[in-house]
Amino acid sequence: MKTVPLSCSNGSLPLRASKNPVLGVFRHHCGELASVHQPKGKRSKTRYLICDSCGTDQCGGADYQAKIKAGTHATIEDLQAAENAVSTVKTVVEIKESELIESVRENSDEIVSDVEPLQAKPTLAQAVKQSVENASVILTEEITVTKPLQAAPVVAPTVKSVTGEVEPKPNTIAVNDPKPMRIGIAAIIGGLVGGLLAAVA
């Protein structure tokens, strides 16, 4: 880009052949420096740009025009100085943010290391299942199931002579009935589940 020095300052402006004078410079969206011009006539309230890469930019939107006016600098050197200042501020802010994040991370690691992890509260279904399993273990440990008694074979006595009537003796061998044991186990499990549901509610 060819430039022309300004006699009234130490700065310079892009050299342009436009009949409208150069008002200043603006950083175009393509990244190149563009000269700022103001036409005469009906469009005298808007500014346009001349960019070496993109050509003439005559967008007249209010937001874009406000951006051009806010970003116009008197010389190329003024624009570069302003950009350098902004870059320096961004760098300082990024460094401070990085230091702050690192400090928070270190402090949070120390706090977390001193705190015991929280135990997750079991759901109702998990609690009921655990209670039933515990009841089964207790019942298995405390109740021993014995084999049912087998009646010895009855041997009829050999009687040579029988006088009178002989009354048969009743069978006195007791057989374990498993039904009361099942009822007891079911009652214990039901009581545990009912107590757990009442505690949760």
pTM metric for this prediction: 0.46
Please list, in sequence order, all residues whose beta carbon lies within 8 angstroms of the beta carbon of residue 33, skipping any fewer than 6 positions away: 1, 14, 25, 26, 27, 51, 52, 76, 79
Beta bridge partners of 4: 13
- Answer yes or no: are the C-beta atoms of 25 and 81 closer than 8 Å: no
pLDDT tens per residue, range 180-189: 677 778 788 8
Tokens of 124: 């109702």
- Answer yes or no: are the C-beta atoms of 57 and 38 closer than 8 Å: no
Q: How confident is the model at residue 72 (pLDDT cuts 50, 70, 90)?
A: very high
Distance between CA atoms of 2 and 76, rounded to whole angstroms? 12
- Give the model's pLDDT for residue 116: 57
- Which has more confidence, 198 or 157? 198
DSSP tally for the chain: helices H, then strands E: 4, 6
Distance between CA atoms of 74 and 87, rounded to whole angstroms? 19
- pLDDT averaged over every residue in the chain: 76
- Answer yes or no: are the C-beta atoms of 36 and 23 closer than 8 Å: yes
pLDDT tens per residue, range 83-117: 999 889 888 888 888 888 887 877 766 665 555 55
- Answer yes or no: are the C-beta atoms of 22 and 37 closer than 8 Å: yes
Tokens of 141: 């440990």
Radius of gyration from C-alpha coordinates of the chain: 50
